[in-house]
Chains A and B, each alone.
Chain A
Amino acid sequence: MGAVFFQQLANGLVNGMGYVLIAVGLTLVFGVLRIVNFAHGEFYMLGSFATFFAMSLLGVHYIVAVLMATVVVAGVGVLANQVLFRPLRREHEFTILMVSLGLSLVLANGGELVFGADPKYISSPFADDAVELGSVFLTWQRIIVLVAASVLICLVYLFIRFTRMGKMMQATAQNREGAALSGVNIDWVHTYTFALACGLAAAAGALLGPTAVIFPTIGEWAVLKAFIVVVMGGLGSMGGAVAGGLILGIVEALGANYISIAFKDAIGYGIVVAVLLWRPAGLFAPRQ
C-alpha cells in the first residue's frame, strides 16, 4: 500500500511541476499585462511540435531541440504581442480576451492543417529508461521534467526578484502608471514578459511532450490546466502558481488512484471550483 502511495506521490509531483511550468507564464502575463491569454496553451503545443520538427527535420539532439524550441516559440510569443496585443492595449478587456481566444483557435486549427491531426511521438533518449528510487519508478524523462522545471522556476524567481528587468516587471505589475512615470519602458517590459511566458510554456511542451503523444489540439488541455492552477493560486501570483500546480498534480494522481481514474480530470475541476467558491481571489492572492 505504501509503495503505491509513494509512486503516485512521485507521479503527482512530476505532473505538478509540469503544470507549474505551464502556469507560471500565464500568471506572469496576467500580472504584468493584465491579459488573460487563452492562447497560452498553444505556445505549449508549439514548443512540443518545434522540438519534434527540430529533431526529425534538422536531426539535432533532443536537448538542442528543446533549447531551440524554447527560443523560437518565445519569439513567436513576442510577435503575437507586437501584432495583436500591443495595438489593442487600450481596448476593453473583453475584446482582448476574445482576441486571445481567436488566436488560440487559429493556432490550434492551423496546427491541425499544417502538422496533421495525427498524434506524433517525440523520441527523447530519456523516455525509455527508468530509475528505481526505493519503491518508486520514474523514467529519466520524468526526472528531467522535475529537475528542469524546478531549475527554471528558480531562475525565473531570481530573475524577477533581482534583475533590473525583473524589478521593472514587478513595478509594472503593481502599478503600471506609476512605473511608466518613473521611466520604465512599458513596451519593453511587456515584450520581455511575453517572451519569458511563451518560452516557459514551450519548454514545458518540449519536456512533457516525450512523456505521451503530442497533437495540435493539446493546447486546450494545457491552457485548462494552467487556468486551474493560476486561478487556484491567485491571478498574478507566482508563488500561488507553484503551490497550485503541485496541489493539482498531487491531488489528481492520488485521486486517480484511490477514487477513480476515469474522473481524474473532473477532480482537477472539482478542486478549482471548490477553491473559487471558498476564496474567489485564489489561495494566495492578497486579501482585499
Chain B
Amino acid sequence: MRRFVFPRAAAAGVAMLLLVPLAAVGSYFQHLLVMWMLFALMAVSLNIIVGYLGELSFGHAAFFGLGAYTSGMLTVFGGVPFWLCLIAAPLVSGAFGLAIGYASLRIKGPQFAILTLGFGAILHSVFLNWVDFTNGPLGITKISPPRIPLLGLEISGGIPYYYLVLFFLLVSAYLCRSLMRSRTGRAFIAVRENDMLATSLGIDVFRYKLLGFVAATMMVGVAGCLYAHYLKVITPGLFTLHYMAPMVIMVIIGGKGTVTGPIVGSLVYVALLEVLRASGSMRMLVFAVLLTLSVIFLPGGLVSLLPFWRGQRGGARQHD
C-alpha cells in the first residue's frame, strides 16, 4: 500500500523557501524575492506543457497577460476585490487556453510553436490596439494591492507578498507532484515519449494534451493576477517574447520535466538581474549563453547536478 511520502529533500527545499525572507535585507532584495516567486510560478506552469507534455508553446506569455489584465481591469474599472480576481483570472486564461489548445493541439512540431506564437501575437495586438477597452500601450495603472477581508490589512511590500506568492507556488508545486504520481501524469509522459504507442494503450492523446494545456494556462493566469497586484502597473508588453523567451529559458536551464527545475531556473534569471544590473541586454545575453550551454552540456538542467534530486524527474523515473 502506498504511503504518503514527503521526501526529505522536498522538505528541506520548502523549509528553505519559508526561511529565505529572513535573510533578505532591504526592500530591493525583498523585491527580487517576490519577482523570483512570480517567475517561478510562471515557469512551473510552462513546465507542464514543455516538460511533462513535451510540446513547445510560444504563446504562454499571452495567457499570463490575460490573467494580469483580467485582474487589473476588474480591479481598476470594476472595483472587484482581489480575491474574486484571483478566481476570475485563471478562469479567463483557462477559457482561452481551452479554445486555443483545442484548435492547436492536434498539430505537431514547429507548426505548433508558430501557431501558439501566432495566437499570442494576435492577443498582444488586441490588447495593444483596443485602446477603449484596455488603455492600449499605456496599460493599466494604480492596481490596488490585495486586502485581507476581515482585518482590512493590505498585502503590499516585499515580505508579505513573498509569502502570498510562495503559497500559490507551493500549491502548484504540490499539484504538479501529485500529477506526476498519478495515472494522468503517466499518460502525459506516454504522450510525450511515444504518442503512437500511447494511443494503442487506450490513451486519448488529444484529450490529455488539452488537459495539461488548460491546467498550465490556468496556473499562469493566477501568476498574472498576482503579478498585477504586486507591480500595480501592467502593459501589453506582458504578452510578448520579452516575457516568453525568459520563461522558456528558465524551464530549460533549471531542468524541464521537474518541479524544482523551473524554480531554480527562475532564481538564476532573477540573480542575473542583480548581478548584471548593467542592462537588460547584458542579462539576456548571459541568459542566452547559459541556455545554449545548458541544452548542449546539461540537458537535464541544473537540477540534474544535485545528487538527491537525480531520481526525481517526472521522466526517467516516474516518482521519487
Contact = CB atoms under 8 A, between A and B. Distances in A.
Asked if A and B form a direct contact in the complex, defined as CB atoms under 8 angstroms apart, the reply is yes
Interface of A: 36, 84, 88, 91, 94-95, 97-99, 101-106, 108-110, 112-113, 117, 220, 224, 227-228, 231, 235, 260, 262-263, 265-266, 269-270, 272-273, 276-277, 280-282
A112 B289 CA distance: 15
B200 interface: no
Contacts of A104: 288
Given A102-B291, A105-B287, A109-B284, 17 more contacts: A95-B295, A95-B296, A102-B292, A104-B288, A105-B284, A109-B282, A113-B282, A224-B121, A235-B111, A262-B125, A263-B129, A265-B121, A266-B122, A270-B122, A272-B114, A273-B115, A273-B118
A109 B285 contact: yes
A246 B273 CA distance: 42
Interface in B223-239: none
A103 B111 CA distance: 21
Contacts of B111: 231, 235, 276, 280-282
Nearest to B103: A277
Contacts of A262: 125, 128-129
A100 B118 CA distance: 19
B312 to A, nearest CB: 21
A102 B295 contact: yes
Contacts of A84: 292
Query: What 4 A-B pairs are tightest by C-beta distance, nearest first?
Result: A105-B288, A102-B292, A266-B125, A262-B129
B24 interface: no
B89 interface: no
A94 B53 CA distance: 13
A102 B245 CA distance: 10
Given A262-B129, A263-B129, A266-B122, A109 B117 contact: no
A260 B130 CA distance: 11
Interface size class of B (residues with CB under 8 A): 20 to 34
Nearest to A276: B115
Contact of B107 (A105, A106, A263, A276): A276
Interface string B254-287: 0000000000000000000000000101101101
A245 to B, nearest CB: 15
Say what secondary structure dominates the interface of chain B: helix
Interface of B: 56, 103, 106-107, 110-111, 114-115, 117-119, 121-122, 125-126, 128-129, 241, 245, 248, 252, 279, 281-282, 284-285, 287-289, 291-292, 295-296, 299
A105 B285 contact: yes
A173 to B, nearest CB: 16
A110 B281 CA distance: 7
A101 B248 contact: yes
A106 B289 contact: yes
B197 to A, nearest CB: 18
Contacts of B292: 84, 98-99, 102-103, 106
A214 to B, nearest CB: 16
Nearest to B287: A105
B108 to A, nearest CB: 8
Given A95-B295, A99-B295, A262-B129, A272 B285 contact: no
Contacts of B295: 95, 98-99, 102
A36 B110 contact: yes
A84 B291 CA distance: 13
B296 A88 contact: yes
A166 to B, nearest CB: 25
A91 B248 CA distance: 19
